[in-house]
Structure 1
Amino acid sequence: MSIGKAVIRPLKDALDDMPVHVRQLSEMFRRHGQKQNRNTSGVSDLDATDVPSPLQNGWKPDGWTPNDVLGAGKGGRPDPGDYLDGDYVRDHLDQFAEGATRFYRKGSLDDWGPGNNGTTYVFPTDQLQNVIDRSATPQDLANTLGLPENFFDGADVELRDFAPHELDGLRMPSGNEGGTDVDKWIPGGYLPSGIPEAVIDIPETSTGLKNGEFRPTNWPGSPRDFTFGAR
């Protein structure tokens, strides 16, 4: 027996014994995550550790599976509380206790305001800063955050920081929200790269040039200019 088979067989057997939700989540994270750009043959294909450990343990064992949630389609997906444990949800949202942040392209922000059909996705401010500090290139940062690879190329980009009191309606993403990437979204509150995400409500008055009055003073959050590599 080759060394490869000697290693892969036990891993395959272990994966077969895992709950169905862990196997399905593992496939989603592998399919959409950073490892898709690497050589994923062999042992990597059988490695379920791509799934953040809290999420492995936070999924309710009976009822909705990850494939069920995705299969329901945008607009028909269930409330995350239907398939995620209450303690898991609380612990996840506690990561946003110090505030939240997201990137905007300034042109889009000016045109439409900071929301998308009344909501927006956000990341914990401290964890997002850690990601920025660790990223070697703009493309690396964009990939980690699930943004188009050219997101930072030739465009004015702004960070917008939301203070804790501005996190109205902070909740787990259901996958029904405006701005959800239907090709990459994974149920459970994490990007494929393992960065936690949540959703907040944006007031109807937070409009831009193309959907109402341009009144940035109505927008929640504080702007922060961003240039890659600047500290």
Structure 2
Amino acid sequence: MSSEAFSQMVDTYLSNNTQLDRNERGAITQWAAALSGSAVGGVIGGTTGAQSGAAVSLDAERYNRQLHPDEVARIKQLSGGDKEKEARLKAAACALVKCSAEFTVGSADYVKAQALEQLGNSDAYATDRAQLASQSGSQLVYAMGSYANANLPMFGYSISDQTGDALSRYGVGTRIGGLVQTTEGEFQALGGMAMCTTGVACLAGSYLAASGIDTAYAGANSFLSGISHKTSGAYLLEGLGVSPAYSEAIYGFSQMGAAGFGVWNGLRGEAIAATGSVPGTNDILSTPLGQRPDPAAYMTPEYISQDLALFDEGATKFMTETNFNKYGIGQIDGTSFVLAKTEVDMLMKNANGDPARLEQSLGLPSGFFSTGNVVRVDIPSPGDFNLRMPSGNEAGANGFWIPGGKLPNNNAEAIIDAGSILPSNYTISPVKFK
């Protein structure tokens, strides 16, 4: 058939089907241009032959997704290298396998596929449809517990095809995936908020929570519409130049990194709490005084917060009355090591009047209490004086100091700024043993 005759046939078809809307008529015109070897509506560039070949490929791969590889091969065999004949047979095949049935009604893909299907269903393609409907081929089938070859009709529309199209048309797979994505995003957001306490952990937790909400929102849209929706994070990355093919993956990896940091941070806190020691203790102790790292660099915010919470009922320190009268409660740098009042009360009770036992519990030199010149200083509100974990850089850090805010006996210790403390901020009492 010549291009002129084919174009006349398409014009007649469009004239006789006035119910087609503008999108459907445009799609048919575009397919007709591909079939006749002319340019495809200015969308596909190149020579006329290349345009026709590209259109045929688009036809086969996008709108004839139900065609078995044997059926595609049969069309090529029947067309004998004639691209126009091959395109006609593929349009007829689209009609036979109902290629528009998998798409959501009204979608752009549905409009294009339906236009091709209607064209393939027209009277002008009756011979092409009949030729394909008469084809059969050998297929491997399972029956009576074994596989065997059987000669079966080709270009059909089976129950399994109908089921698959229904699932695709209503976006069942996409909706299920969207529901799963929504759930995952919600859990991620909750996990991120749980991570957020202070410092770097809060930054990572905030990002994880925000990206989790973004993921859940995109999943909810996919679930409701049946159409896959990208996350805002992916669109942001694309705006920065990331390829759309990789934007979601990169966004996902960034979330995995934040989650991994949260897991590591949590495990580190559990290790410190379980062992009472800080990883890298020897390295910290071997670092010269004044150059030791901030505790936040090797302890989790959760651990620091829990340890300092032991001082909510007050802080206590022991010192000789002579030093108290001469220097006050602070060291030369204005800091002061303090113990948790509740723990001191318990230790004194357990010592049962034995000064040696109390010295051992507090890690104090032997005979410290035997001078009879020791006072106890209680600070009711240590949080008012910059209560914090000791770094080991303080003037009062001696050879018994260890990282982690703990004494050798695992009782808590902390640091306050004593330079600004007033006598009204603490009480002092002599330590006496029976």
1:95 is paired with a residue whose SS is: helix
Tell me the equivalent position of 1:126.
342
In the alignment, is residue 68 of structure 1 matched against residue 273 of structure 2?
A: no
Tell me the equivalent position of 1:115.
330
Moved runs in structure 1, 4+ residues, more than 4 A?
A: none
Contact 1:100–1:123 (Cα < 8 Å) also in 2: yes
Q: Report the Cα offset of residue 218 of structure 1.
A: 4.5
Contact 1:101–1:128 (Cα < 8 Å) also in 2: yes
Tell me the equivalent position of 1:221.
426
Distance 1:219 1:71 in 2: 39
Contact 2:292–2:391 (Cα < 8 Å) also in 1: yes
Q: Within 5 Å, give how 1:62-211 maps onto structure 2.
A: 65-116=280-331, 117-136=333-352, 137-164=354-381, 167-181=384-398, 183-203=399-419
Tell me the equivalent position of 2:66.
none
Unmatched segments (≥5 aa) in structure 2: 1-270
Distance 1:85 1:165 in 2: 21
TM-aligned CA distance change 1:109 to 1:166, over 3 Å: farther
2:283 is paired with a residue whose SS is: helix
Distance 2:302 2:316 in 1: 24
Contact 1:171–1:199 (Cα < 8 Å) also in 2: yes
Tell me the equivalent position of 2:275.
56
Distance 1:202 1:139 in 2: 28
Query: C-alpha deviations, 1:175-202, integer Å up to 9, x for none?
Result: 1111111x21110011111111111111
Query: C-alpha deviations, 1:13-46, integer Å up to 9, x for none?
Result: xxxxxxxxxxxxxxxxxxxxxxxxxxxxxxxxxx
Q: Please, what TM-score do these two structures have when normalized by structure 1?
A: 0.64
Q: Report the Cα offset of residue 56 of structure 1.
A: 3.4
- Percent identity of equivalent pairs: 33
Q: Report the Cα offset of residue 203 of structure 1.
A: 1.7
1:228 is paired with a residue whose SS is: coil
Distance 2:276 2:418 in 1: 31
Q: Please, what TM-score do these two structures have when normalized by structure 2?
A: 0.35
Q: Report the Cα offset of residue 155 of structure 1.
A: 3.1
TM-aligned CA distance change 1:166 to 1:203, over 3 Å: farther
TM-aligned CA distance change 1:106 to 1:193, over 3 Å: same
1:153 is paired with a residue whose SS is: helix
Query: C-alpha deviations, 1:74-96, integer Å up to 9, x for none?
Result: 21111000000110000000010
TM-aligned CA distance change 1:96 to 1:73, over 3 Å: same
Q: Report the Cα offset of residue 166 of structure 1.
A: 6.0
Distance 1:152 1:58 in 2: 28
Distance 2:381 2:275 in 1: 28
Q: Residue 394 of structure 2 aligns to which amino acid in structure 1?
A: E
Tell me the equivalent position of 1:10.
none
Distance 1:218 1:159 in 2: 14
Distance 1:220 1:201 in 2: 12
- The one of the two structures with greater contact order (alpha-carbon pairs below 8 A, sep at least 6) is 1
Q: Residue 143 of structure 1 aligns to which amino acid in structure 2?
A: Q
**RMSD in angstroms over aligned alpha carbons?**
2.2
Distance 2:302 2:340 in 1: 18
State the aligned residue count: 162
Unmatched segments (≥5 aa) in structure 1: 1-51, 207-216
Q: Residue 430 of structure 2 aligns to which amino acid in structure 1?
A: D
Q: Residue 67 of structure 1 aligns to which amino acid in structure 2?
A: N
